[in-house]
Structure formats: C-alpha cells, structure tokens
Amino acid sequence: MNEVFQAIAMVSMGIVGTAVVLARDPLRQALILGVYGMTMIVTFFALQAPDVALSAIVVTSVGLPPMVLLALRKLREYRREHEE
Amino acid sequence: MTFLPYAVAAWLFVVGLYGIVTSRHLVHLAVCLTVVQSSTYLILLSTGYVRHGSAPIYADIPPVATAVDPVVQALTLTDIVVESTITALLLALAVQAMKRFGSVDPTFLRQLRG
Amino acid sequence: MSQRGRLLLFLPSAAVLLFLLIDGLQRLTGFGHYPGPYGFVLNGVGVNQRHATNLVTAVNFDYRAFDTLGEEFILFTATTAIVLILRHMRGERERPSGDELRRENASEALRGMALAFVAALIVLGGYVVTHGALTPGGGFQGGVVLGCAAFLVFLAGEVVAMKRVAPEKLLEFADAAGAAGFALLGIGGLVFAGVFFQNFLDLGKPGSLNSAGTMPLVSISIGIEVAGAFLLVWTEFLDQAVLVRSGGGGSE
C-alpha cells in the first residue's frame, strides 16, 4: 500500500514539474509552482521524512511566492511607467 | 519500483534544463532552476530510504525500531531553505536588469551594450 | 546564435545527458535497500549519546554542525547580496508614505484573517523553534514561520505598519546576531570542552524541553537568523515594488 502511494506521488511530481516548465507566462507559472510544491511535500511524506516536508511546506507556500509575485509586480510597474 | 524515483529525478533534471535554455523571461528562468534543484532533493531522499522503515523520530517508537537514514534528511532540509534565498537573489538580479537594460528577455539582453 | 540553433544544439546533448544519468543512477543499490552503515549506526546510538529524540536535528546541530555553519553563512551572504543589489540607483526616489499606500482593493476578509493569525503564528513559530530536538521542527522551519507572522501585518494593512513592526535596523541586527550566536556556540564548545562544536551543556532527560545540551540554543539562534533574513528580503522586494519610483532621468 505504501509502495503504491509512493509511486503515485513521484509520478505526479514528474508531471506537474513538466507543466511548470511548459508554462511560459510567469504569473501562471507561479500558480503551478504552488501545486508543484504540494506534490513535492506529499512525496517527502511518503519517503518518511517529516522534517524535510515541514521545511518544504514553509518555503514553497510562504517563502518563495511573495518574492516571485513582488518581482513580477515591480517589472510590470516599471514597464508601464516607462511607456507613457 | 526499485528504479522509479531515480527515473523521475533524471527526467525533472533534463526538463528543468530545457526550460532554462529556451526561456524568454528571467523570472521563468529562476523558477525552472527551482525544478532542477528539487530533482536533487528527490535523489538524496531516495538513496536513504530503508524498506519498511519509519521516520527517524524516536519520540514514541522504541529506540530499536528500523528507521530511514537521518543524514540525507539533514542535508536536504538546510538545502531547501538556503536555495530559496538563492532564487530570491536571481529575482533581484532580474529586477536590476530591467532597470538597467529595459528588458528581461535573455536573448535581447545579449545584444545591448552599456 | 539564433533561438532555433540553440534548441537544435541542446536536444541531442539533453538526450545524451538523460542516458548518462539513468545509466549512472541505476548502478546505485535499488530503492529501499540502503546499504551503508552510517545511518544505522546513528539511529542506534543517537538517542543514548545526545538525549535527543529528533535525530535529524541532532545530525544538523550536533554531529554535522560544521556543515550547518557553512549553510547558514550562505544564507547570510545571499541576504547581504540582495540588499546590495537592490540599492537605490541614481534618479530614483522614494514615494512619501500616504493614503495611496493603503491597499483599498484588499478584501475585508483577507485583512481580518491576517490580523487574527499574527499572534497564532508567533506562538506556533516559537513552539517549532524550541522543540527542535524533540519533534519534527527546528531553527530553519520555525524561523520562516516567525518571519511570516510579521509579513502578515503587511497583508492586514499597509506597508508602513509592517515597517513599524519590523524596522530594517532591527532585522539587520537579528540576522547578524543569529549568525554570530551560532558561531559563538561552536567556539564555546572549543573553550569549555576542547573540541569545536562539542556539546558542552548538561544533557538532561530525553523528551523534556531542557534536554540535548546546546541544541535548543542553536535552534533559537538559527531561528532568529532565518526570520531576520527572510523578512529583510521581503522588505527589500516590497520597497522596490511599492515605494521606489524612478525620476525623470530613468535608468542609466
């Protein structure tokens, strides 16, 4: 039973990882990155690593997305300011 | 099943590299680098897995129970937090590139001078 | 080299790289058959030697504390580099704080919930940091949770509220104090017990809060450092996105 769970978690990690790369718009990619973090966390739990899963939870849900979104906002504001 | 984690990790590595090579936006490039990094976490944790082993936390299981390797988990744990800061450094460089060159397209950045 | 030329060069080499990776990885022992003795030795002696029940934290902060010192200073250096890179360029000025900084588009539900969770996150962060040697947790995870508690003040209101709760001088001091505290605990091991990073405090009973020697202290100092570093990075990005506006001359 555990083997099936591990196999499903890892295969879903591979599929969502491919989707992260194939999404060209950075804003859409930030959302898919959140889902990718979720599959990564489930895989870490399946591999009996709760400490690593806790670290991945805090980083992919509250450590990385604010930086990506704030950088994107700065780029958009700068472009709008210099085109007028 | 004995080879699936390594196959998924190798596939993620190559897919992430493909994203970096064909990227048209510096923020997209930084996120693809995150995918490459996470493939190494998967390899590390898979080498330390013991069949029918539990987590190496002995708060409620007897100290003689079989558990997975704690050393690779310690390496991966600090790795995740530190490399998110490196991604933040890449994003800061992207913001400064926009200010200095007016574009975040890597192919366009090579042609501008000064 | 054009975009298509680069892609044509990359695809065959990616295929060769994939083949070499799979060929190399399948020479490892199969998934689940861990051979090496180091993990089994640590699992056997860890609880009795260090009186800690979370062996991953024991490896991080005691057995391999030297590696963690290096990683922590990577964090410190990267944060310093971000603060240096995002310095104000010539021609930029900071928008004066005023009513336009209040986020009128934010919904009331977001602001109410964010305000309600600040105190809960501080308690949760403190719990995760101090129980590093007992349950899954430790300095790195709890530090990010503590940083998020101050970041929620920004989500609940304005940028100036967050700057009043976490001013930049305090964040820089916390970052440096955490890093220095960890190094000083290592030197304490050198001074009191003769070996760098030796656990020199009383070990206590495994399972109680005051056990495992220097591990709770190391956990607390790393928690302070990680919280300071993450908040500093968020503040820099927030300044750039919301406050800094380029003047008439633009970039140089």
C90 or C217, which is more confident?
C217
Per the model's pLDDT, the better-predicted residue between C12 and C207 turns out to be: C12
* Distance in angstroms (rounded) separating the CA atoms of residues C77 and C83: 10
Q: What angle do CA C143, A60, B28 make, to 5 degrees?
A: 130
Q: What does the pLDDT look like over C33-57, one tens digit per residue?
A: 888 788 888 888 888 888 888 899 9
Query: For residue A76, what is the nearest residue in chain C, using CA coordinates?
Result: C241
More confident residue, B39 or C116: B39
Among C84, C161, C169, C55, which residue's Cα sits nearest to residue C115? C161
pLDDT in tens, C64-89: 999 999 999 999 999 999 999 887 66
- C170 φ, ψ to 5°? -65, -40
Whether C233 contacts C166, CB under 8 Å: no
Structural contact between residues C148 and C113, judged by C-beta atoms closer than 8 angstroms: no
Structure-model confidence comparison of residues B99 and C142, the more confident one: C142
Nearest residue of A to residue C134, measured between CA atoms: A51
Looking at the complex, does the CB of residue A68 fall below 8 Å from at least one CB of chain B? yes
pLDDT at C2: 77
Task: Look at residue A78 in the predicted model and tell me its pLDDT.
Answer: 86
- The listed CATH number (1.10.3080.10, 3.40.50.2300, 1.10.287.3510, 3.40.50.970) that belongs to domain B4-109: 1.10.287.3510
pTM for this predicted structure: 0.89
The sign of the torsion formed by the CA atoms of C40, C43, C46, C48 equals: negative
Residue C33 CA to its chain's centroid (Å) = 32
B97: contact with A, CB 8 A cutoff: no
Render pLDDT for B60-100 as a digit per residue (tens, 0 to 9).
787 777 889 999 999 999 999 988 999 999 999 999 888 88
B59 in A contact zone (CB under 8 Å): no
Long-range contacts of C22-27 (CB under 8 A, 24+ apart): C22/B6, C22/B7, C22/B10, C25/B3, C25/B6, C25/B7, C25/B9, C25/B10, C25/B43, C26/B3, C26/B6
What per-residue confidence (pLDDT) applies to C252?
36
Question: Which candidate, C55, C94, C233, places its Cα nearest to that of B65?
Answer: C55
Q: Which two tokens stand for residue B12?
A: 């993620």
C67 phi/psi in degrees, rounded to 5: -65, -40
CB-nearest to B81 from A24, A55, A72 is A55
- pLDDT of C206 above 80: no
Count CA within 13 A, CB hemisphere, residue B83.
21
Question: Are the C-beta atoms of A59 and B80 separated by less than 8 Å?
Answer: yes
Contacting residues of B for A3, CB less than 8 Å apart? 1
CA distance C230 to C237: 11
**pLDDT for the residue C196:** 81
Is B103 touching A (CB cutoff 8 A)?
Answer: no
CA C31 to chain centroid, in Å, comes to: 30
Under a CB-based contact definition with an 8 Å cutoff, are residues C219 and C129 in contact?
A: yes
Lowest mean pLDDT of A49-53, C21-25, C196-200, name the range: C196-200
- pLDDT range class, residue C249, cuts 50, 70, 90: very low
- pLDDT (0 to 100) of residue C99: 44
Domain ranges for chain A, please list them: 2-81
ipTM of the complex: 0.90
Other residues' Cβ atoms within 10 Å of the Cβ of residue C198: 17
SS (H, E, C) C21-68: HHHHHCCCCCCECCCCHHHHHHHHHHHHHHCCCEHHHHHHHHHCHHHH
pLDDT tens digits, one per residue of B16-31: 999 999 999 999 999 9
- SS3 state of residue C202: coil
Q: pLDDT class for B9, splitting at 50, 70, 90?
A: very high
Residues 6+ apart with CB under 8 A from C184: none
- DSSP calls for chain B: --SHHHHHHHHHHHHHHHHHHT-SSHHHHHHHHHHHHHHHHHHHHHHT-BTT-B-SB-SSS-TTS-B--HHHHHHHHHHHHHHHHHHHHHHHHHHHHHHHHS---HHHHTT---
| C-alpha distance from C234 to closest chain B C-alpha (Å) | 9
Residue C244 host element (H or E): strand C244-246
Shortest CA distance from A82: residue in chain B:
B102
Distance from CA of A43 to the nearest CA of B (A): 9
Domain locations in chain B?
4-109
